[in-house]
Structure 1
């Protein structure tokens, strides 16, 4: 494998090409306020690094996203298991689930700020709302997709319903849970950006929103790139954890998630 093929394999060549096209487009327009080039964005990043605001905004947004996502996942996965495994519970919850999951979390920003204030509580609850439904649905789908023959085989061996739930249902559902939490992470970033644009004085969403007041389009690009990088690395972390968790069941991340 030569050097160019290696760069293509790890994705560096694609990013270099994108940056080159971006720079050419910026030079074509000739208006940094309309379309800043990569060098303009780097200069803007230096400004934000000088006063420490960029790092602070990234850490604040990342803390909010991870906390809300984790709480939403921890709440959504058990509810999803019950929805899929207990028929009467599924019949009771299904109407609410299929109603509220179509209302985006951003639509609740005004109400959550009114009910819980402009502090961290409203942002965390907003992210939990956007996270939990995806995890619930994927988890319930995993339970319902479980082969009935496995449950019958466990019963025939004398396993109790509790043993079946913990040793058959949950292990078979773990791949679906990890798929749900990965998808929910994207919703978490969408929710926090909306919340920080409206009710925050720090964070990446706040940076993007206030940049318009100073006509700092380069700061907007910095915010967008920061969100992309945060999402990229958190997704990588989830995939590493999922590889460890699923490996014991003979499930690879290549088969389940479409890549290493």
Structure 2
């Protein structure tokens, strides 16, 4: 007597739908792209309405701005401005990150360092970088150094504060558990404190990037012949509102691209530390 055995391999099991998750993820991405597109189109429509209402002397229309962008791109002005501003932002922001992270770790870990540096950090972080533009030009000249130093100044305090806040927010039980297992102070810093602080560091880096874009305009207006800030100021002197719009929109696009790249890199490289952007 033979017994029939069911072929369980061909029978779908509850909860096992290999195509469900990828399909849902694709639908989510398409929906997000659609919402982005609708949002951009709505913004352009409002922009066009404002241009029609107030006239080209006050608000350049999207078509006029696009034509001006082509004009500036044709002679290389737009490309040179983007490269100059982008390079200054990356260098100054990178230096702020390189200094702010270790200083923030020290402040969060060592009370003596915190008490020594806290008065200076709390004093200088409330002074805007634009207040130092004249001094930066006098001390460092109109070259690249003055702009980079100003961007470094606006970045380093944000990164330092976020990093130190992340260190001081580490669960005390984790530190005690690591110490009870015989971990040294350096091992605790590397294996417990730093992984827990990574999300705060990334947040500080993003905030510092945004402030770097705020600073670059004022720095380039005063002491630069090339850059998006210089382009905006020169356009204003020539009465070219359409060029001003090109400079402003290019700054926004450049900042959007920088932040997106930072988010993607941080999410992929630091996902194990709980970074989700």
Task: Quickly name the TM-score band, shorter chain normalised.
Answer: over 0.9
Alignment of 1:69-88 (within 5 A): 69-88=93-112
Unmatched segments (≥5 aa) in structure 2: 1-25
TM-score (normalised: structure 1)? 0.92
Alignment of 1:114-125 (within 5 A): 114-125=138-149
TM-score (normalised: structure 2)? 0.87
Change in 2 beyond 3 A, CA 1:101/1:7: closer
Q: 1:20 aligns with which of 37, 45, 51?
A: 45
- How far apart are residue 236 of structure 1 and its match? 0.6
Superposition CA RMSD, Å: 1.6
Alignment of 1:31-110 (within 5 A): 31-110=55-134
Q: Following the alignment from structure 1 to structure 2, what is the Cα–Cα distance between the partners of residues 252 and 92?
A: 31
Q: Following the alignment from structure 1 to structure 2, what is the Cα–Cα distance between the partners of residues 6 and 178?
A: 27
Task: Report how many residues are paired.
Answer: 250
Q: Following the alignment from structure 1 to structure 2, what is the Cα–Cα distance between the partners of residues 45 and 88?
A: 54
Query: 2:104·2:162 contact (CA, 8 Å) conserved in 1?
Result: yes
Query: 1:85·1:144 contact (CA, 8 Å) conserved in 2?
Result: yes
Q: Following the alignment from structure 2 to structure 1, what is the Cα–Cα distance between the partners of residues 139 and 242?
A: 35
- 1:197 maps to which residue? 221
- How far apart are residue 6 of structure 1 and its match? 3.6
**Farther off after superposition, 9-18 or 94-103:** 9-18
Could you say what secondary structure the match of 2:136 adopts? helix
**Farther off after superposition, 76-85 or 238-247:** 238-247
Q: Following the alignment from structure 2 to structure 1, what is the Cα–Cα distance between the partners of residues 33 and 103?
A: 43
Q: Following the alignment from structure 1 to structure 2, what is the Cα–Cα distance between the partners of residues 159 and 22?
A: 59
Alignment of 1:116-195 (within 5 A): 116-195=140-219
Q: Following the alignment from structure 1 to structure 2, what is the Cα–Cα distance between the partners of residues 245 and 157?
A: 29
- How far apart are residue 8 of structure 1 and its match? 6.8
Runs of 4+ in 1 over 6 A off after TM superposition: none
Query: 1:81·1:143 contact (CA, 8 Å) conserved in 2?
Result: yes
Superposed CA offset, 1:162-213 (max 9, x none): 1111111111111110100000001111111110001000000000001112
Q: Following the alignment from structure 1 to structure 2, what is the Cα–Cα distance between the partners of residues 151 and 236?
A: 34
Query: 2:89·2:213 contact (CA, 8 Å) conserved in 1?
Result: yes
Query: 1:68·1:128 contact (CA, 8 Å) conserved in 2?
Result: yes
- How far apart are residue 245 of structure 1 and its match? 3.0
**Farther off after superposition, 20-29 or 39-48:** 20-29
- 1:245 maps to which residue? 269
**Farther off after superposition, 17-26 or 234-243:** 17-26
Query: 1:126·1:191 contact (CA, 8 Å) conserved in 2?
Result: yes
Superposed CA offset, 1:117-173 (max 9, x none): 110011111000000000000000000000111011001111111111111111111
Query: 1:8·1:14 contact (CA, 8 Å) conserved in 2?
Result: no
Q: Following the alignment from structure 1 to structure 2, what is the Cα–Cα distance between the partners of residues 205 and 89?
A: 37
